Structure 1
């Protein structure tokens, strides 16, 4: 599964990491340059120190009365020496040394120029025809400490600059993408049946073609749905009118027939026309249910619609419909006409196939959950799984086309709901129950 992140988050993190990386690279480059320059300064100091001390050391050695023995230069006061020196003859004998000098850090044989040991940087110079050598030593740890302090001096400002850069980048990205976020929220917040155009104003230039394409698609979809609704309505009128006319003429012809045998034939034609009229109505309902017109652009209270439909069935089947309604409104984006078709098919299915000695219970609670329950024999699981299909029927003697539950399921799917079918019904050992949540759209 692909993990998707927001553009705002990606830009914010990417720019912050990029700025941080550039700062670190800049500090590293600056540190390396500073270290190189510092090494040049320290080498120059070593050389300058040797050049200054050498004449004094030579004068002191040549003016000695007791020979050329080793002497230590006295210190005026106690202090740490970063630079120490030795004065030796060509054989390596020490003639003079600084008060804190350690002969072990110098090379055994004196040499001119720069050289390095594991711990010190050395510079040597000679005088009196290469008979007197002066070497000055500086600890490498001193140079490393100086380089570290210089690097920290460059790095410490980043502790402030990086958080400031992070806040600045997030603020700029958020400000730049504010209209894009509003555009996203506008699309996310609208209902599935809202086909009104999205707002294109003040969007960044890169997103204007997207908004334009979405609006063109919504317009085409709206026209297609309106055309389909118009076609379904016209088809219903054009089919029902001739069927009703033919049925009326057959009924009138039946009353004029003197022969009982002919009357039976006309009665069969009458029943066939009536079945054809019902079937055509169901097929048109199925076409409307599958046509994508199950949602409206605004929410509607479905409680009065359910009450009206229940009263119609109560008049047709007195005492067999028990209705339970909530005290408050149940609002849903489900199209009122689609809801009426769905409920009529569920109640009609319960009345036809349920036990005639038990009422059909219709319950709509405050949370928008609708249940239609009837008594009767249990429906086997293998048959229950097929009842959503067209023309599929359980084993029953009741008349029907096998389209009622298919129409209800098509409307539920078109609205993004799930129609649950159960047998036995909840809390019973028998019966049948249909349930769906009208408020989950």
Structure 2
């Protein structure tokens, strides 16, 4: 369905807006005017107010006049045949309502057919995950996913060999790591304690003769050395005790009272023998390494979730790279600029595809209400080109006060691929051509 003309009666005045069958840019309009124009057109498609008329063209090419006279009932006329076809467009309540035929209310139509900046930046977690993974180089992504799956299987096999569960491997690793840290801290403390005892004892012995010869001032350096070695030893003792506590926390989590108990009881049979223990720990380490590599690519998205939605991720990745100019297709990730363009392109195409089939095979126009105010001009140009291509199959009406969009539209209008409508007083286009003017009212 394409809107060819909007006509609004306001008292003795009549305001008309002729729209391009594919792409129309209505430039130089502020927020209130944009809301008003979209509201008038959506209202006319629904059970809108009297005095607002539309000329429409169905996707099949048939043209209709939707008339809502002030002093009579709404009517739909076949413009080619000049006959009244109103009954074909009545809703269940008897009103002429083209939206109701597709199960839309005025509220739901405004939500679906009008797209704003906020609509482009809000998406479900499911869609966000799909987009996140679609941005990643697909060869690298699925290679790492395969590696994680294989490493997970290796952990499961190593655990099964000793009658355990794969989840127990991290417990073993953590206990062993903390025990090794404790042993290292204990050795360091013993070494420092021996040195501090030797140096401290000698310093203490030297205090008496030095004090006798030089007085208190002469004994002070030896006293300071003795105190320093005591503090030095205490620091290493505290480190050792901290390592001991950390080890005990890991043992407590495994249900073992001590490291010796952990070895003897083998934590539910985990340590059948030292060789099997090392195999399980090695497999767990490889698995952890693969998971780290996956997280660098995919963040917190689970590997299993990605594999379950692999087809959708691949489809989104192909769509992103075919609808925006990817400057380095071999990069693991898109650049920030490419990522922004890809995100917005995905959202635009998703909405357009939805509206294309919303009317049971009859498309609906998409109204874009200043959707790109924060987008870089280079990205904005790519998105506008994308909309131009999409409008060949579905009408797009872009309402804006963005001069960059208006300048782009003035150039494209020369090819006939779109039309631009600007209120009187707008900036003249390059070359001195008179811009199209239009009067309109807000709802």
Give the structure-2-normalised TM-score: 0.19
Q: Specify which structure has the bigger relative contact order, considering alpha-carbon pairs within 8 angstroms and separated by 6 or more residues.
A: 2
More strand by share: 1
Give the structure-1-normalised TM-score: 0.19
Rg larger for: 1
More helix by share: 2
